[in-house]
A and B are shown apart, each in its own frame.
Chain A
């Protein structure tokens, strides 16, 4: 079984065991992969995680429900408010809180803005891994625009603690819709540049087409979700499968690709960015400019005893939260299902037989964020 720890195999004396350590420019965080290499080809790969295990689940058992929301922010830290939503939705279900329509639309707008921000970080860092430095500078400039918009409303750039039970914490700032519309115009021009830089680059083609092919059945059996699953041909998106917030009110498509290789995963994320822009354009028109931003919620959040699992479509896949309550004001158990946690399980499958530089491209296309994996 390829996930056993690596011991030298007798008869395979050409194999060199190399550690791709937790400090590495291209592991997207603190991942350690112990590789068995024969020349350039990887024979075995054993990932080790846990270098960012911050005890979210144990600490959250000692915090009241509103205090858990900032902790959830810190899981998938490039996606900001996307992490707050499964927990908030689960508790709203257990308490039966109604969210007003305007609040749902505002939440969805922030959700999609952060999806764009997360895919921009992905694009910049993936291209850095493949050796291109310029896309990083362009994508982070665009991300700064998004973070500026969020900061004017929520008060913080990356980890805003903005959603709450019943809606959002405060109303959007007066220029919000105009700034988002201007940003979307800017972004549509930029996407043309990004296509030239990334999708049409001959280096990207050479390094990603045909590399790291993941079959449909393997992907589903491994619990893979998100762009990685859709690039293998399965059209599963939690926004369409189990809709939440304002997604039933907007039109969008789920891009899939039958190839399952690294280029397909790049391409699917690009198409998702286009779809996010499309959703945001519709929401800028549809959201009422005045109205309530938070529904009625009890002052002391004390869900009745029970449990509830809710999932959302994170930038990485299906992010879920299982909230078990015992009737007090602190959760009894919160289990976070990280999308990247399931996605990372295919690393041994995809690395074996690949060349070492392919392994870097594969990791870049999987887009792990370790706050969500190690929790």
Chain B
């Protein structure tokens, strides 16, 4: 069976990387486990697709967890978690505004920082700092193995790398 969740420990927090279809179920499970403080949702343009990175804290024992999911450029749809944690409402709007990630189920998904009529999603890597398209920019191929696949058992010389299959981008 294909693995769809990868869990690792970076520095001092648990990081889950999931398939977009399992994102919502994992978030509901974490909400049930008592993670009640939403720190942020960040959108990151990975070069091969868009990443949504949700960061949560549990107030009781100050445990931190990060949930990440990757979506392709041509279908950037991620389920919204506004009903679980209302504090991510504006963060999701900002990710939509700057990167074009659509959150399904968001109560009011419109632009936050830019004008409503604009069509530009400026934080994408295909645009340069001024908002103009970079000539000759091509998206990278989707990584193989997928970002949420279980890592290969670490070989002795690459014990420092948690997953060797993701290229130079954020691991």
A residues neighboring B (CB under 8 Å): 1, 3-5, 49-50, 53, 55, 57-59, 61-62, 93, 218, 220-224, 234, 236, 241-242, 305-309, 311, 318, 320, 322, 324-327, 332-333, 335, 337, 341-342, 344-345, 374-375
Residues of B within 8 A of A335 (CB): 40, 42-44
Contact assessment for B90 and A58 in the assembled complex, using a CB-CB cutoff below 8 Å: no
A63 to chain B, nearest CB (A): 10
B39 near A311: Cβ-Cβ < 8 Å: yes
Instruction: Pick out which of these stretches binds chain A: B22-30, B80-88, B150-158.
Output: B80-88
> What string of 1s and 0s marks CB contacts (under 8 Å) between B54-75 and chain A?
0100010010001000000000
Please indicate the chain B residues that have their CB under 8 angstroms from the CB of A59 in the complex. Answer: 129
Complex contact B86–A221 (CB within 8 A): yes
Greatest chain A CB density within 10 A among B42, B111, B112 is at B42
Task: Specify which of A223, A224, A375 is in contact with B88 (CB 8 Å cutoff).
Answer: A223
Do A62 and B44 have beta carbons less than 8 Å apart? no
B38 on interface, CB distance cutoff 8 Å: yes
Which of B's residues lie within 8 Å of A, judged by CB?
10-11, 13, 36-40, 42-45, 53, 55, 59, 62, 66, 85-91, 98, 107-108, 110-115, 122-123, 129, 168-171
Provide the bound-state CA to CA distance between A339 and B89, in Å. Answer: 14
Complex CA gap A326/B166 in Å reads 11
5 new A-B contacts at CB < 8 Å, known A93-B11, A221-B38, A221-B86: A326-B169, A335-B44, A341-B91, A342-B90, A375-B113
**Chain A contact residues, majority secondary structure:** mixed
Q: For the complex of A and B, list the 6 residue pairs with the smallest distance between their C-beta atoms, beginning with the closest.
A: A223-B87, A50-B113, A335-B42, A222-B87, A337-B40, A53-B113
B38 smallest CB distance to A (angstroms) = 5
Given contacts A49-B112, A345-B89, contact A221 B36 (CB under 8 A): yes
CB <8 Å contact, A322 and B87: no
- A333 cross-chain contacts in B, Cβ below 8 A: 42, 44-45
Please determine whether B66 and A341 come into contact, CB atoms closer than 8 angstroms: no
Decide if B62 touches A241 in the complex (CB within 8 Å): yes
> How far, in whole Å, are A280 and B107 apart by their CA atoms in the complex?
46
Establish whether residues B85 and A324, one from each chain, have CB atoms under 8 Å apart when the complex forms.
no
Contact across chains for B11 and A308 when beta carbons are under 8 A apart: yes
Q: Which of B11, B107, B114, B169 contacts A3 (CB 8 A)?
A: B107
Docked pose: A324 CA to B171 CA in angstroms: 9
Q: Are B129 and A322 touching (Cβ within 8 A)?
A: no
A342 to B39 CA separation, bound complex (whole angstroms): 9
Enumerate chain A residues within 8 angstroms of B98, measured Cβ to Cβ: 57
Residue of A nearest to B44 (CB): A333
A324-B51 Cα distance, complex, nearest whole Å: 12
Smallest Cβ distance from B122 to chain A, in angstroms? 6
Task: Contact check, A220 vs B122: say whether CB atoms are below 8 A apart.
Answer: no
The CA-CA distance from A324 to B46 in the complex, in Å, is 10
Which residues of the partner chain B approach A307 to less than 8 Å between Cβ atoms?
10, 53, 170-171
- Is A324 within 8 A of B170, CB to CB? yes
Partner of A320, one of B40, B86, B88, B108: B40
A306 touches B170 (CB 8 A): yes
CA separation between A54 and B171, bound complex, in Å?
29
Q: In the assembly, what is the distance between CA of A341 and CA of B95, in Å?
A: 14
Q: Which residues of B contact A224 (CB under 8 A)?
A: 87
